[in-house]
Structure 1
Amino acid sequence: MNGQGAALPEAARMQSHVAGFVTEMSRRSRLPLDYSVNSLRLVDLVVDGLRRSHPRRSQVARFLDGLGAYTGEVIVRRAGARWVDLDPEQRELFGQPVGIRMPDGRVWNPLGKVVKRFEEGPKESVARFYLLMHGRQAPGTRGGAEKRALCG
C-alpha cells in the first residue's frame, strides 16, 4: 500500500469527513462543492490547477484525498453506492483503506481516480469516471445484486 490514505477514516465516518472537507473548501476557496454530478468537472479543474505548479504528490496528498473522498461521496449520493472498508487485498490493489460499493456489488476507487488525474492529467477525468461507471443505480430504483467485483 502506498500509505497516502493513512489519514482517511473508516467507511462509517467518510460522510462526516467529506462534509468537513467541503465546509473548509467552501470557506477558504469558495469552491461550489454541492455534491452534484456536474461538480465533478470542478474536481477535474482543481486538480489541473494543482498540476500547473508541478508539486510532488506528497505535497498535495491530503488535498487529493479530500477531493477523492468528495468524488466518492457524490457517487454515494447520486448513484446509490455506499462507502466500504476495503479488505487487505483491495487495499493493496487500490492503495486506499476505503472505497465505494455500487448497487451491483462492484467496488470502485474514487480516491485513486483523483490521484490518477493528478499524475496523468486530463485523460483521467473524474467527471468521465462517473459517467462511464458501471453499476450505477437507475434513478428511482432500489437494490441491486451483490457481486464481488473489483473495478477502478
Structure 2
Amino acid sequence: MTRELTPTPKDAPEMAANFVAIASKQGDSRFDYSEGSIRALDELIGGFHDNGDRSENMGGTIMVAGAYLGEVMVRHRGATWIDGTKADVDDAMRFPLMMQCGTQTLVPFAKVAKRLDNGSEDDLVFYYQTLVKLTTGEMPDMTPVAPTKRSLFQRLTGRGK
C-alpha cells in the first residue's frame, strides 16, 4: 500500500535542499538560494515544458522545485511557510503547504506547475519580481547565477552539449 505524504511547513526546507542536492549531483551548481537562481529554475522548468513534460507526470519535481522557489522567498523576503489547511483562503485556492509573504498568501508549487504546463507565459522570474514589488515596493536583484557547462535539464535529458 502506498501512503501519500502531506508536506508540512517543517518539511519545506528539506524538500528544497533535496532539489539542490539533485541539481548538484547532476553538476548544476546554479541553485544557491540567491534571487538570481530563480532564472536557472525558470530555465529548468521551461526545458521540461519544451520537452513535452507536464505537471500530471512530474509531481515530485514540482514539489521540490516549488519548495526551492519558496525557500528563496523565505531567505530573501521574509516569507514563511504555513499550514494551508489553516490558511484564510477560499477552498479552491487551498493547498496543504502554502506561504505567507507580506499580505500575500502563495502556493509556489502551483506556480511551478503552471510554468511547466503553460510555458513562458507563467515565467517564474516575472512572478518573483511582481511578488517582491507587491510586498516591498522594490525590485529584487535578479543577476543570473553563472551557468555550469551543461544545465541540469541538459544533463537529465541528454540534450545539448
Tell me the TM-score normalized by structure 2: 0.72
Which stretch of structure 1 is more off in the superposition, 23-32 or 46-55?
Answer: 23-32
The DSSP-based 3-state class of the residue aligned with 1:135 is helix
Q: Distance in 1 between matches of 2:7 and 2:77?
A: 22
How many pairs were matched up?
132
Alignment partner, residue 43 of structure 1 = 41
How does 1:65-76 map onto structure 2 within 5 Å?
65-76=63-74
The DSSP-based 3-state class of the residue aligned with 2:33 is coil
Alignment partner, residue 10 of structure 1 = 8
Mapped pair 1:101 → 2:87:
no
Q: Distance in 1 between matches of 2:64 and 2:56?
A: 14
**Contact 2:62–2:109 at 8 Å: present in 1 too?**
yes
Q: What RMSD, in angstroms, separates the aligned Cα atoms of the two structures? A: 2.3
Report how far residue 25 of structure 1 moved: 1.9
The amino acid of 1:99's aligned partner reads: M
Displaced runs of 4 or more, over 3 A: 88-92
**Contact 1:79–1:137 at 8 Å: present in 2 too?**
no
**Contact 1:37–1:127 at 8 Å: present in 2 too?**
no
Gaps of 5+ in 1: 1-5, 139-152
Which stretch of structure 1 is more off in the superposition, 43-52 or 90-99?
Answer: 90-99
The DSSP-based 3-state class of the residue aligned with 2:32 is coil
Alignment partner, residue 125 of structure 2 = 127
Alignment partner, residue 83 of structure 1 = 81
Rg larger for: 2
Query: Which among 58, 63, 80 is matched to residue 60 of structure 1?
Result: 58
Report how far residue 137 of structure 1 moved: 8.8
The DSSP-based 3-state class of the residue aligned with 1:100 is strand
**Contact 1:94–1:112 at 8 Å: present in 2 too?**
no
**Contact 1:117–1:124 at 8 Å: present in 2 too?**
yes
**Contact 1:10–1:98 at 8 Å: present in 2 too?**
yes
Gaps of 5+ in 2: 139-161
Q: Distance in 2 between matches of 1:27 and 1:91?
A: 39
The DSSP-based 3-state class of the residue aligned with 2:99 is strand
Of structures 1 and 2, the one scoring higher in RCO (CA 8 A, sep 6+) is 2
